[in-house]
Amino acid sequence: MVLWLMAMKAAREQLDGRETDDIGNQDANSKHDENQNFPVQNTSDTKRETQTVQIGNRSASLFLSSASINLSKAKPKDTSNAKQSPSTTPAPISRQTTKTKREKSRLIPDEMIQIRPTREFTFTGYDIMADVASPECSDDDEDDDDNTRQIKSTYRNTCKMLGVTPASSFKNQVATPAITMRSHPTGPEGVRAMAIALVDNQVVTSLDLEDNGLFTDGAKYIAEMLHKNRTIIDLNIAENLIGTEGVRAIADVLHVNHKITSLDISGSGLVDTDALVLADILQNAPCLRELILSHNKFCGEGGMILGSAIATNDTLRILDLSWNHLRGKGAMAIVAALQKNIGLRKLDISWNGYGKDECFILSHALQENTTLKELDISNNRLNKEAIKHLLDGIQNGDGLETLRIRGNPVSPELALAIIKVIQESENCRIQQLDMGDIDVNEDFVSVVDDITMYRPFEVLYSNVLKHGGLQKREVEGIDYNVNMVDELFKYMHENNYRVIDLMKWLDKDGSMSVSREEFKQGMKTAQFPLTEFQLDKMVDELDMDGDGEVDFSKLEKMFVINFGMIQYDNGHYVLARNTKNYLQAKGYSGGE
C-alpha cells in the first residue's frame, strides 16, 4: 500500500511538471515562466502507445497519444490566478464568446493544438482524430464571409438554447435575397430562432414562411424582429393561423417600419372583428403596396369595415379578398369603395357571394373609377341579371383592362353579349377576358376574330358549340379540345419521365406541391407543346381541390391510373390485367 501511494504521488508530480523538492525555488521561477513561451514539440516525434482492454466479451485497443502527456508536462499549473477563474454563469451569445475562447487557446502553441486529442482512446481500426472538425466553424461555413458565418453561428446557438432543431434550408438561404420555406414544421420556437438570426441581416429582402405552424407567438416573434430589421420588404406568413393577436402585432410594427411593401396573411383565421386591425394597417402603412387576405372569414360586418378603409387609401395597389364570405352589404361596401379609391390597380374578389345586387353597385363604381386595371370576380353568382349590370359598367368605363369571370353560370348566349359589348363600346379598354371554363358559340369566335384585327385582345374560353354539339377548336394544327392531362402523361411517358422527376424539377421547396403559375412556367421552360389556354385548362384539371396548388401525390395517382397499371373498378383501385394493351388502346407508344 505504501509503495502504491508513493507511485501515485510520483506520477502526479511528473504530470504537474514540477519536482516536490524544488518548492523553495517556485517563486523565483514563476516570473521567468510568465515571460517565456512553452517549448514546441516536434509533431513528427509524437508517439501513440496502445494498450489492449477488455470490454465485456469484446477486446479493444486503447490509443494513448504522447502529445497529450507531454503537453501536460509542459504546461505549469498557475495557482496564483485560481481566485480569478471566470464565472460559470452562461454569457449572452456574441462575438466576445468566440474571442474569449481564442484568447485562452493562445496559452498553447498552434502546433500543439493540431495534435491535441479531444478523446483519450478509440477502438481498434478507427481513429477518431481524423473526423474531429474545427470548433470555430462547420464545414459548410468555410466559404462564407464573416457576416454570414456570424449569422449562421447565431442561429445554431439560438436553436441550441431554445432546444429546437436547426433548419438547414433556412441556414442555407440566410445569405440570399429571398428565404422561401413553405410547409415546414417550424413552430413558434423555431421561427423565434430564425427571427433572432435575422435581426441584423442586411441581405434578405423577402421572407416566405407560409404554412410553418407559427400561430400567434410566431407572428409576434416576426413582428419583434421587424422593429429593428429594415431590409425585409416582402413578408408572407400565410396559412399560419396567427389570429387576432398575431395580426395586431404585425399592425403595430407597420406603424414604425415603413419598408414592408407586400404582406400576405391569408389563411390566418381572421373574422369580422379582425377587420378593425386591418383597417388600421390600411390607414397607417403608407408604403404597403400589396395585401393578401384570402382564405379568411370576413362576412358582412367585416366587409363594411374594410370598405371604409379602402375608400380612403390611395397607396395600396393590389388587394386580394378571394375565398372569404363576402355577400350582401359587406360585398357592396368593398366595390362601392372603388368610387373614391384612386390607388388600387388589381382587385380579387373571386370565390365570394357577389350576385345581382352587388353587381349593381359594382357597375356604378366601374363607371367612375379610372385607375383599376384588373378585376377578378370568378366563381361567384353572376347570373343573367348580374352580368347585365356588369356590362353597363364595362360599356361606360374606361379604366378596366383585364376581366376574369370564369366559374360563373354564363351561357353561350350571355358570353356572346359580353364580347359584343367589348367590341362595340368606344370607351372599353379591356384587352384580356378570362372566361376559362365557359362554353361559347361560333358567333362568339367570329367576334373575337374581328376584335383582334384592329387591337390587341386575348380571350380564354372552353368549348365551341356548333348546332348543339361540340366543335373542336384548332388553331395552327393544335386541338383545343384535347384532354390536357392525357397529353401531359403522354409527353412524360414518351420522354421517360416519372412524376417524381417532374416533382424534383418543379418543387424547389420540397412541399410536394407547386402553385399554378410555377407549374405553367415549368411547362413552358420544358417546351411542353401546349398553348397558354391549354396550360390553363390543364392546371384547372390538376388543381382538383381548387386551392391554387398542383398536388404531386394526386398527380402521381392520376398518372398511374391513366397508364393502366391501376384501374378504378366498383369503388376500388385494382391492378390492370394487361397494361401493355391498355397503353396501346390509349394511343401511347414507347416502352413496356
Q: Which residue has the higher pLDDT, 434 or 71?
A: 434
pLDDT band at 55 (very low <50, low <70, confident <90, very high): very low
pLDDT band at 489 (very low <50, low <70, confident <90, very high): low
**Buried/exposed 245-283: b ≥16 CB within 10 Å, e otherwise:** ebbbbbbbbbeebeebbbbbbbbbbbebebbbbbbbbbe
| Torsion on CA atoms 506, 509, 514, 515, rounded to nearest 10 | -120
- For range 498-508, the mean pLDDT: 64
% of the chain with per-residue pLDDT over 90: 51
Question: What's the confidence (pLDDT) of residue 164?
Answer: 94
% of the chain with per-residue pLDDT over 70: 59
- The DSSP call for residue 279 is H
Task: Compute the mean pLDDT over every residue in the chain, rounded to the nearest whole number.
Answer: 75
Q: HEC string of 531-548?
A: CHHHHHHHHHHHCCCCCC
Question: What's the confidence (pLDDT) of residue 243?
Answer: 95
pLDDT band at 562 (very low <50, low <70, confident <90, very high): low
| 210, 237 contact by CB (below 8 A) | yes
Specify the pTM: 0.60
Q: How far apart are CA 205 and CA 207, in angstroms?
A: 7
Residue 503 reports pLDDT greater than 70: no
Q: Which range, 67-81, 82-96, 275-289, 484-498, is most confident?
A: 275-289
CA nearest to 121, candidates 73, 47, 53:
53
Q: Which class in CATH covers the domain with range 146-465?
A: alpha beta
Cβ–Cβ contacts within 10 Å for residue 570, how many?
5
End-to-end CA distance of the chain: 84
- For range 560-583, the mean pLDDT: 43
pLDDT band at 520 (very low <50, low <70, confident <90, very high): confident
| Domain ranges, ordered by start, for the chain | 146-465, 484-586
Q: HEC string of 316-329?
A: CCEEECCCCCCCHH
- For range 536-562, the mean pLDDT: 67
Q: Which residue has the higher pLDDT, 106 or 166?
A: 166
Question: What's the confidence (pLDDT) of residue 12?
Answer: 56
Question: What's the confidence (pLDDT) of residue 538?
Answer: 74
pLDDT band at 565 (very low <50, low <70, confident <90, very high): very low
Question: What's the confidence (pLDDT) of residue 75?
Answer: 42
Of 87-101, 308-322, 509-523, 555-569, the least confident:
87-101
| Torsion on CA atoms 267, 271, 276, 282, rounded to nearest 10 | 30
Q: Which residue has the higher pLDDT, 200 or 23?
A: 200
Of 244-253, 278-287, 291-300, 465-474, the least confident:
465-474
CA nearest to 210, candidates 253, 264, 169, 283:
264
Residue 92 reports pLDDT greater than 70: no
Question: What's the confidence (pLDDT) of residue 147?
Answer: 87
| 564, 582 contact by CB (below 8 A) | yes
Question: What's the confidence (pLDDT) of residue 498?
Answer: 62
Of 176-180, 444-448, 466-470, the least confident:
466-470
What fold is seen in the domain 484-586?
A: Recoverin; domain 1 (1.10.238)
Query: Helix (H, G, I), strand (E, B), or coil: what is residue 372?
Result: coil
Q: What is the pLDDT of residues 378-389, one digit of tens each?
A: 999 899 999 999
Question: What's the confidence (pLDDT) of residue 544?
Answer: 65
